[in-house]
Amino acid sequence: MANSEYTPMIPRSKKTRLRYRVAVIGGGSWATAIIKIISANLEHIHWWVREEEVAEGIANYGHNPKYLSSVFINPEEVRVSTDIRSVVSKSDYVIIVTPSAYLHQSLEPLQKRSQLHKKKIILAVKGIVPETMQLISDYMQTQFKVPVENLCLISGPSHAEEIAQEKFTYLTAASVNSELASIVAKFFTNRYCRASVSQDLMGAELSIVLKNIYALGAGIYSGLGYGDNFIAAYVANCVKEMKYFVSHVYPNEERHISDSVYLGDLLVTAYSTYSRNRLFGIMIGHGLSVRVSLMELRMVSEGYTACRCVHEINKKQQANIPIVETIYGILYENNNVSSEMKRIAEHFV
């Protein structure tokens, strides 16, 4: 069911922590935030990071020197390593948090003799694998032979910076395997984070991809000088387009687009000052080229790659998604920013 049932928020003492063996793959802001969340609940955590500098900072000082450095990580409870094979081999559940732009490269050491198909995989990645132009769940199934019932998505309106400050956050664990979703929800439930469950894995994942594109568009409009009144109307039209396209690709009568994993995530990405996709769009709206904007951002804009992927998906679907297609034309076909965004605005209601 797409309807959510909230799990109780029960703070765990050290003696009552869950004894699942969990690995976290990725060393950025969201990975650090996830470590902070699950450390309150889990006894056995292994963390893979790419950079030796990050591993040493965590092991020696209890802080990630590059991302969310204010977050304390107990090195006696969280085992950090730059050896991805070792980290995965010691775990039954693997939380993948590497940005999608680097996912293929990061998991490459696991391609041969991989044991990932025997693990429960928790996807905390928001985007597309650019090398294969696949959703992350499709990529894990085709590249690593992970059964869909072993996949779970964890998502929702959740900026890492607010997790670091322990500001109250809602997440959703989505899987076709309801038992797995319930277990993952327990991992992510503590005194400042509440996790619900859903069986709409594919619908939630596609919504995540779309919301990054729409947030990029909100940034473009903001950069062009449009005000809050207009952008609210723009987001409302994005919600309609998202609902239509997700239902077109993955029909599900029990899906409620107003749930936080769909609408909430779109809103926070479109409006928040922490949003990289929104910032990327603002730069384009200000007149910077796509190439220069990507260089200036110095971070991954998931919406950039996602837009190309959804465009390719829609070649087969032939759905009417003018907002996505307009943003694609700006990003990849050098269409005029101001005139194109004004053109689609004439059709908003």
Phi, psi dihedral angles at 150 (to 5 degrees) = -100, 10
Mean pLDDT of 197-202: 96
Q: So what's the pLDDT on residue 3?
A: 46
User: Model confidence over 57-97: pLDDT tens digits?
Assistant: 999 999 999 999 999 999 999 999 999 999 999 999 999 99
Query: Which are the contacts of 309, defined by CB distance < 8 A and separation ≥ 6?
Result: 128, 133, 134, 135, 209
Is the model's pLDDT at 141 over the cut of 90? yes
**Measured in whole angstroms, how far is the alpha carbon of residue 295 from the centre of its chain?**
21
pLDDT tens column, 38-57: 999 998 999 999 999 999 99
Q: What is the pLDDT of residue 302?
A: 86
Model pLDDT for residues 234-246, shown as the tens digit of each residue: 999 999 999 999 9
**Cα 322 from Cα 262, distance rounded (Å):** 19
Q: Which tops the pLDDT comparison, 7 or 138?
A: 138
The helix-helix angle for 201-224 and 337-345 (nearest 10°) equals 120
Q: What are the contacts of 15-21 at 24+ separation with CB within 8 A? A: 17/41, 17/42, 17/43, 18/42, 18/43, 18/186, 18/187, 19/43, 19/44, 20/44, 20/92, 20/93, 20/183, 20/187, 21/46, 21/90, 21/91, 21/92, 21/93
User: What is the reported pLDDT for 13?
Assistant: 54
Average pLDDT over residues 116-127: 92
pLDDT one-digit tens code per residue, 270-325: 999 889 999 999 999 999 999 999 888 877 788 998 999 899 999 999 999 999 99
Asked if 314 and 323 count as a contact pair (C-beta separation under 8 A), the reply is no
The separation between the first and the last C-alpha atoms of the chain, rounded to the nearest angstrom, is: 31
Give CA–CA dist 232/228, Å, rounded. 6
With a cut of 80, say whether residue 167 has pLDDT above it: yes
Q: What is the mean pLDDT of the chain?
A: 92
Name the more confident of 292 and 4. Answer: 292
pLDDT of residue 12: 52
CB-side exposure of 119: number of CA atoms within 13 Å? Answer: 25
Share of the chain above pLDDT 90, in %: 82
Per-residue pLDDT tens for 204-250?
999 999 999 999 999 999 999 999 999 999 999 999 999 999 999 99
Residue 4: pLDDT band (50, 70, 90) is: very low
Provide the pLDDT for residue 279. Answer: 95
* 192 touches 166 (CB < 8 A): yes
- 94 vs 1, higher pLDDT: 94
| β-pair type (134-135, 78-81) | unpaired
Residues facing 198 on adjacent strands: 174
Average pLDDT over residues 324-328: 98
Rounded to whole angstroms, the Cα distance separating 330 from 324 reads 10
Phi, psi dihedrals of residue 312, rounded to the nearest 5°: -70, -40
Q: How does DSSP classify residue 7?
A: P
Coil, helix or strand for 159? coil
Please, which residues have CB within 8 angstroms of residue 227's CB and are 6 or more apart in sequence? none
Distance CA 219, CA 276 (A): 10
More confident residue, 71 or 16: 71
Question: What percentage of the chain has pLDDT greater than the value 70?
Answer: 95
In this structure, are residues 115 and 93 in contact, taking their beta carbons and an 8 Å threshold?
A: no
Cα–Cα distance measured from residue 224 to residue 211, given in angstroms and rounded to the nearest whole number: 20
pLDDT at 121 over 50: yes
Contact 309, 317 (CB under 8 A): no
Whether the Cβ atoms of residue 281 and residue 301 lie closer than 8 Å to each other:
no
Under 8 Å between Cβ of 108 and 138 = no
The per-residue pLDDT for range 331-340, each reduced to its tens digit, is 999 999 999 9
* C-beta separation of 67 from 27 below 8 A: yes
Q: Specify the pLDDT at position 336.
A: 97
pLDDT of residue 301: 81
